Amino acid sequence: MGCLAFLKDFFLGFWDYETPKVMVVKDKKLGVIYRAVQLLILTYFVWHVFIRQKAYQETETRPESSVHTEMRGVAMLGDSVQDTTEYVRPSEGFDVISTILRREVTHDQTQGMCAEHYSVADANCTKDSDCTQGDVDFDGHGQRTGRCIPYYNYTFKTCEVRTWCPIEEYAAVSEPAMEKAINFTVFIENAILFPKFKVLRSNIKPKKRKKLERCHYHPDTNPYCPVFRLGFIAEQAQEKFSELCRTGGIIGVFINWKCDFDKDSSKCIPTYSFRRIDMRKNLPSSEYYYRFAKYYHKDGVEYRTLIKAYGIRLDVIVQGYAGRFSLIPTIINTVTAMTSIGICSIICDWIMLTCIDRNEVFSEMKFDDVSKNPDEPITTDFTLTSYGSTHSDLSDGVPL
């Protein structure tokens, strides 16, 4: 075939329409199976993939989020009044905020020399030679001076150390817990932006900000008021507040945005859930505390008030998910659905050829055997009948 002829053929052939030849099997049983399987797959795609999973939407799962927290409330902790300045740390209102509920305070510590705690390894002594000068024990309080001195106003002796004196274990005053904090409130403001959809949402209704000061969150009656009582949070996290006061704990505040922007975006309001996240099961000793100090000077010497603070730490964790109709995923999923429906053919072909096709009528009709050998007569539908049985049904199991 010359090049020109080839091009001409190609050009003529290019505008031909090609469509597969189809065999129509007039068999009710097979037809019902075929349609049933199709229906099943169709139902799955329409109901689960399109209606439940919303596969026609493009989604956004990494929204930009900003959190601002603020606590309110005042209570007595021992003899002193605690306002937010005192019990909230850090004060800047980030997405992690902690409330002090109980304190062990060591007053008037200053750098000096005093007795090591008796529980520290090798700290108990009877004479100076028991204490190696310059040693710094990892679990101890400081550097040993090499002297063996009485343990404060007790009769036994321990090694002297250079440290903040007196040591916390001896001098700390454990204050009663601030049980009244159960009524403290935390205001959690959360603005969220879905950059793909250019939708900005907040968990506060714009016009209602003034009213927020006195409201309390309730999922049904007050979903737009992000003011939570600590007691409510503890209850939702299935923790006893009095227990939390004693040991402290970390509670996750999960803000869940699940938005469907095909509906009115004003219906996109978050849900809140609370869960203790530092908990290990069957473990009574899980605690959350941290130490900080307030410094002051007296007669030119630096003193500190060391505070071991037990409290609730709230970690605000924002999770967003939004979807909106988009042509591309719709097309892709429709194509996938259609392709999947093609599986019917494989199943039904297999049923037809193995179960129904007793007289090999169908396989003779479906398969045209053709041999490469040009000397053999060209096999057609008519001549084919004679060796239709050489065709293996099983090799058809793998689809083409």
Q: Residues forming the annotated binding site for ATP?
A: 185, 308
Cα separation, 369 vs 391, in Å, equals 8
Sole binder of its own copies in the list 54, 72, 117, 196 (CB under 8 A):
72
Is 54 a binder of its own copies (CB under 8 A)? Answer: no
Cβ 395 to its own copies shortest distance, Å:
5
HSE at residue 128, side-chain half, CA atoms within 13 A, is 5
One-letter amino acid identity for 314? L
Chain position carrying tokens 């129509």: 24
Tokens of 389: 């049985």
Instruction: Read off φ and ψ for residue 168, nearest 5 degrees.
Output: -60, -45
Closer to its own copies at the Cβ: 126 or 342? Answer: 342
Task: List, in order, residues 6 or more apart from 224 with CB less than 8 Å away.
Answer: 203, 204, 205, 208, 269
Sole binder of its own copies in the list 85, 153, 155, 221 (CB under 8 A):
85
Sole binder of its own copies in the list 32, 46, 347, 355 (CB under 8 A):
32
Tell me the sheet residues that pair with 82: 75
Cα separation, 270 vs 317, in Å, equals 12
Is 230 a binder of its own copies (CB under 8 A)? Answer: no
Q: Which of residues 329-358 bind its own copies (CB under 8 A)?
A: 331-332, 335-336, 338-346, 348-349, 352, 356, 358
Note whether 144 and 134 are within 8 A (CB). yes
Is 147 a binder of its own copies (CB under 8 A)? Answer: no
Note whether 319 and 95 are within 8 A (CB). no
Tokens of 366: 């479906």
Sole binder of its own copies in the list 13, 126, 129, 155 (CB under 8 A):
13
Cα separation, 302 vs 236, in Å, equals 44
Is 3 a binder of its own copies (CB under 8 A)? Answer: no
Q: Which of residues 151-170 bind its own copies (CB under 8 A)?
A: 161-164
Phi-psi region of 320 (alpha: psi -120 to 50; beta: other; left: phi over 0): beta
Cβ 155 to its own copies shortest distance, Å:
26
Task: List, in order, residues 6 or more apart from 365 with CB less than 8 Å away.
Answer: 23, 381
Sole binder of its own copies in the list 87, 272, 274, 362 (CB under 8 A):
362
Note whether 91 and 85 are within 8 A (CB). yes
Cβ 270 to its own copies shortest distance, Å:
15
Burial class (CB in 10 A: 0-12, 13-18, 19+), 372: exposed
Cβ 76 to its own copies shortest distance, Å:
5
Is 264 a binder of its own copies (CB under 8 A)? Answer: no
Is 248 a binder of its own copies (CB under 8 A)? Answer: no
14-22, 149-157, 218-226, 238-246 -> range binding its own copies (CB under 8 A): 14-22
Closer to its own copies at the Cβ: 155 or 174? Answer: 174
Site string for its own copies, 295-334 (x = CB under 8 A): xxxx-x-xxxxx------x-x-x-x--------x--xx--
Sole binder of its own copies in the list 51, 347, 355, 361 (CB under 8 A):
361
